[in-house]
């Protein structure tokens, strides 16, 4: 089972929104998908409680490591872990369990400045990581500048999730953009981001096999 941890020291970067959207998209394509909400604000949990669909499954877990073992035994293929906007020993322990850390970043200098500590933890623990741009404004020059700045630290997803009303409206209803409006461009952006995540997971797996 692959574990994708969404982590960022910056609040409002879109971790919960991406966790929900990626989990829903992945659950429609393959083995069962689970989510764990480690943020005290419980935004992912509140979103899930508003859903009528039972998938992807939200798991209450006092210990993420133990939950991973149980979910793997039950045949889950992917686990998305939402984290609070801070760096604590608990988050560091969670990052150690990750197959991939996805770092959401809004196109702004402040958000770029905030990625340093998360990147440092991933590098120190030897955990693969990548950046995902969220809440971008189409045509804004700042988006290209942010991509250039992030590229100095790691890989940036080519699929950018832009700021769209449908995303916020869907989340409020316990849905995702691809469920609320399947033909909306947001659905394609999420699908592209999921493809990117799968590609990074595959590359990481092959790299580990090569080392062995």
Task: State the Cα–Cα distance between residues 212 and 208, nearest whole angstrom.
Answer: 6
Closest CA relative to residue 197, chosen from 99, 58, 93, 76: 99
Tokens representing residue 189 in the block? 């952006």
DSSP per-residue codes, the chain? -EEEEE--SSTTSSHHHHHHHHHHHHHTTSS-EEEEE--TT-HHHHHHHT-SS--SEE---S-HHHHHHHHHHTT--EEEEE--SS--HHHHHHHHT-SEEEEEE-SSHHHHHTTHHHHHHHHHHT--EEEEE-SBPTT-HHHHHHHHHHHTTSEE-SS--B--HHHHHHHHTT--HHHH-TTSHHHHHHHHHHHHHHHHHHHHHHHHHHH-
Place of tokens 């809004």: 106
Q: Please provide the CATH number assigned to the domain covering 2-211.
A: 3.40.50.300
For each of the chain's 212 residues, which pLDDT tens digit applies?
999 999 998 888 999 999 999 999 999 987 999 999 999 999 999 999 999 998 999 999 889 999 999 999 999 999 999 999 988 888 999 999 999 999 999 999 999 999 999 999 999 999 999 999 999 998 888 999 999 999 999 999 999 999 999 999 999 999 999 999 999 999 999 999 999 999 999 988 877 765 55
pLDDT at residue 115, rounded to an integer:
95
Q: How far apart are CA 120 and CA 126, in angstroms?
A: 10
In the chain, where the domains are located: 2-211
**Tokens linked to 194:** 């999921």
Distances (CA, A) of 147 to 8, 10, 41, 122, 167: 16, 17, 29, 19, 22
- pTM of the entire predicted model: 0.94
């Amino acid at each position: 089972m692959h574990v994708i941890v969404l982590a960022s020291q910056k609040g409002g970067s879109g971790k919960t929104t991406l966790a929900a959207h990626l989990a829903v998209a992945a659950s429609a394509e393959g083995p069962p998908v689970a989510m764990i909400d480690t943020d005290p604000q419980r935004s992912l949990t509140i979103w899930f409680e508003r859903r009528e669909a039972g998938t992807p499954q939200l798991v209450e877990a006092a210990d993420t490591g133990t939950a991973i073992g149980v979910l793997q035994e039950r045949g889950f293929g992917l686990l998305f872990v939402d984290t609070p906007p801070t760096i604590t020993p608990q988050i560091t322990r969670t990052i150690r369990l990750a197959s991939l850390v996805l770092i959401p970043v809004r196109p702004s200098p402040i958000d770029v400045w905030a990625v340093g500590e998360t990147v440092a933890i991933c590098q120190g623990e030897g955990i693969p990581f990548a950046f995902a741009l969220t809440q971008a404004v189409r045509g804004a020059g700042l988006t290209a500048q942010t991509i250039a700045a992030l590229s100095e630290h790691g890989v940036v997803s080519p699929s950018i999730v832009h700021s769209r009303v449908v995303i916020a409206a869907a989340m409020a209803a316990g849905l995702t953009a691809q469920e609320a409006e399947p033909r909306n461009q947001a659905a394609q952006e999420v699908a592209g981001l999921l493809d990117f995540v799968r590609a990074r997971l595959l590359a990481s797996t092959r790299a580990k096999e090569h080392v062995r």
